[in-house]
């Protein structure tokens, strides 16, 4: 358990892999499975209090009976079925920013081919939960280490040896550098800084790309938590009435919102603006469409999760 916590914390502390309460890991010990609780931060894996202990047989038979997103226990993450249904001892699920950008800017058949050549199974976008877990299971080859690329969502790496899982995670990130400029990504992450103007009651971000028309990113979501936590649209600053709190206005100097964001929203906004500025004017191929994203936000599980993170 100790080294499982150590590796979970390491992945949780790497912002390129895990942001805020996103991502989750699990380990199976004897008759139990320990799964990260919903809304908890993986970076807090110093002791097992952020993990929920569940009897493995009980939860497996629960999913055999309920082939849907019903929860076995309140407080468990909506992504629990991935952890329960994969039979590997350890399952690491993380939201790699590189994977999100690659999803968006690479043609699907080219990306599927790139991944398959590296023994990474491409998984089309499904709502996080039971359906997604089933899809992953179909592509599980039961090798020593199994890796899955979840379009517009992140990664799953499972196996029985923690050290091998860790090195596989970093190896995959290195492979992604063939499809994206990692230096540029890190520069942009530094550049995107969320500030708050108490006088104007405005959240503002110095514009990392003054010439970018952010309106091209309206009506799409790059990752599930984008849909859940940031249902905002972009609008060019035209000096008209700006009462709407769900619009990110932008001009050459800054992007701004007429409200104060909580910590979770700030983290995801940083991720979103980094992705947008990396994509810039590149063609976008794979994203979560507006309707699918909006339905996810309105689901009971997500309403609970938004509340936990306030
Ligand atoms: Zn996820």
- Report pLDDT digits (tens) over 205-260: 999 999 999 999 999 999 999 999 999 999 998 766 667 788 999 999 999 999 99
For residues 154 and 141, the model is more confident at 154
208 CA distance to ligand 1 centroid (A)?
27
Q: pLDDT at position 97, please?
A: 98
Phi-psi region at 280: left, alpha or beta (left = phi > 0; alpha = psi -120 to 50): left
User: How far, in Å, from the CA of 228 to the mean position of ligand 1?
Assistant: 12
150 & 48 share domain:
yes
Q: How far is the CA of 199 from the centre of ligand 1 (A)?
A: 37
Q: Which pLDDT does position 46 carry in this prediction?
A: 80
**How many Å lie between the centroid of ligand 1 and the Cα of residue 264?**
15
Specify the higher pLDDT residue, 300 or 152. 152
pLDDT at 240: 63
Q: What is the pLDDT of residue 239?
A: 66
Say yes or no: 167 and 216 in one domain.
Answer: no
Query: Looking at 144, 176, 208, which one is the last position of a domain?
Result: 176
pLDDT of residue 242: 66
More confident residue, 7 or 299: 7
How far does the centroid of ligand 1 lie from the alpha carbon of residue 77, in Å? 9
| b/e 42-72 (16+ beta carbons within 10 angstroms → b) | bbbbeebebbbebeeeebeebbeeeeebebb
Express as a percent the part of the chain with pLDDT over 70: 95
Provide the mean pLDDT of the chain: 94
Q: What is the mean pLDDT of residues 27-55?
A: 92
Range of the domain at 203: 182-308
Q: Give residue 8 CA to ligand 1 midpoint distance, Å.
A: 15
Q: How far is the CA of 65 from the centre of ligand 1 (A)?
A: 24
Question: CATH code at 100?
Answer: 3.40.225.10
Higher pLDDT, 199 or 304: 199
């Amino acid at each position: 358990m100790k080294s499982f916590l150590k590796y979970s914390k390491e992945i949780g502390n790497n912002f390129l892999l895990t942001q805020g309460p996103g991502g989750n890991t699990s380990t199976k010990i004897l008759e139990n499975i320990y799964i990260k609780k919903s809304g908890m931060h993986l970076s807090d894996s110093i002791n097992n209090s952020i993990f929920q202990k569940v009897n493995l047989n009980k939860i497996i038979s629960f999913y055999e009976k309920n082939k849907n997103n019903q929860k076995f226990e309140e407080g468990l993450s909506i992504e629990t079925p991935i952890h329960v249904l994969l039979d590997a001892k350890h399952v690491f699920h993380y939201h790699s920013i590189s994977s999100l950008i690659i999803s968006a800017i690479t043609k699907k058949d080219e990306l599927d081919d790139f991944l398959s050549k590296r023994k990474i199974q491409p998984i089309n976008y499904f709502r996080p939960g039971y359906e997604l877990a089933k899809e992953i299971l179909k592509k599980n080859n039961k090798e020593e280490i199994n890796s899955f690329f979840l379009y517009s969502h992140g990664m799953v790496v499972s196996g029985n040896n923690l050290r091998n899982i860790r090195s596989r995670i970093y190896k995959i990130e290195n492979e992604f550098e063939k499809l994206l400029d990692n230096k540029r990504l890190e520069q942009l992450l530094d550049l995107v800084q969320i500030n708050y103007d108490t006088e104007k009651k405005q959240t503002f971000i110095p514009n990392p790309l003054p010439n970018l028309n952010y309106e091209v990113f309206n009506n799409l979501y790059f990752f599930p938590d984008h849909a859940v936590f940031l249902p905002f649209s972009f609008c060019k600053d035209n000096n008209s009435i700006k009462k709407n709190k769900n619009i990110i206005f932008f001009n050459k100097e800054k992007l701004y919102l007429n409200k104060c964001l909580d910590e979770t929203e700030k983290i995801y906004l940083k991720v979103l603006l980094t992705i947008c500025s990396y994509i810039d004017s590149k063609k976008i191929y794979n994203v979560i469409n507006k309707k699918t994203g909006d339905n996810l936000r309105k689901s009971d599980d997500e309403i609970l999760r938004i509340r936990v993170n306030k």
